[in-house]
Amino acid sequence: MSDLPELTTATLWGIINDEISDDTAHQLVWHCLGYRLDPASGQWDTSEVASEWQQEYPEPPKFIESRPATVKLTRSIPAEHKQLLKEELGFKGYTVDELVPRKTRRATIANWLLSYMKLHEISA
């Protein structure tokens, strides 16, 4: 997955603003969770994936399409990182007419990735 964009604030804004495809947003999270696709076999290697994800999702979930997977992703964000989109990026949220599952799930992905960046000391 070397063709993925770097984890930067620009990438996060691209996810929030729907400028980065759903597939790319998913692949970024999958990569951070430890999922690796073996190109030869087409099978997912989950040896680096935490057991709580491996058990429930032996193949990486499509978060934007799956409410349960997004809920699990949300719950995995440490409490002190729940507001990072607002605190670090100044994201004010979506307007009422924009509050649709697809957009809120993309914001969840961006927030999870920002939390991942903080936990792994990746500078934005």
Instruction: List, for residues 67-94, the tens digit of each pLDDT value.
Output: 999 999 999 999 999 999 999 999 998 8
Q: Is residue 18 part of a domain?
A: no
| CATH number for the domain that contains residue 77 | 1.10.418.90
Does the pLDDT value for residue 1 go beyond 50?
Answer: no
Is 85:113 a contact under the CB 8 Å cutoff? no
Average pLDDT (2-28) is 95
Tell me, rounded to whole angstroms, the distance of Cα 34 from its chain centroid. Answer: 12
Residue 112 lies in a domain: yes
- The Cα-based distances of 53 to 18, 26, 33 in angstroms read 26, 15, 8
User: Domain tally for the chain?
Assistant: 1
Q: Crossing angle of helices 22-33/101-119, nearest 10°?
A: 30
Task: Please report the pLDDT score of residue 13 as a whole number.
Answer: 97
Residue 45, beta-bridge partner list: 36
CA 12 to chain centre: 9
Q: What is the span of the domain harbouring residue 80?
A: 25-119
The mean per-residue pLDDT over the stretch 24-44 comes to 95
Q: How confident is the model at residue 33 (pLDDT cuts 50, 70, 90)?
A: very high
What's the average model confidence in pLDDT over 34-62? 95
Question: How does residue 53 score in pLDDT terms, banded at 50, 70 and 90?
Answer: very high
Residue 106 carries which side chain, given as an amino acid letter? R
Q: Where are the beta strands (DSSP E) in 5-103?
A: 36-37, 44-45
pTM for this model (two decimals): 0.93
Residue 7 domain-assigned? no
Q: Does any domain span residue 85?
A: yes
Q: How confident is the model at residue 95 (pLDDT cuts 50, 70, 90)?
A: confident
**Would you state the pLDDT for residue 72?**
97
Residue 35 lies in a domain: yes
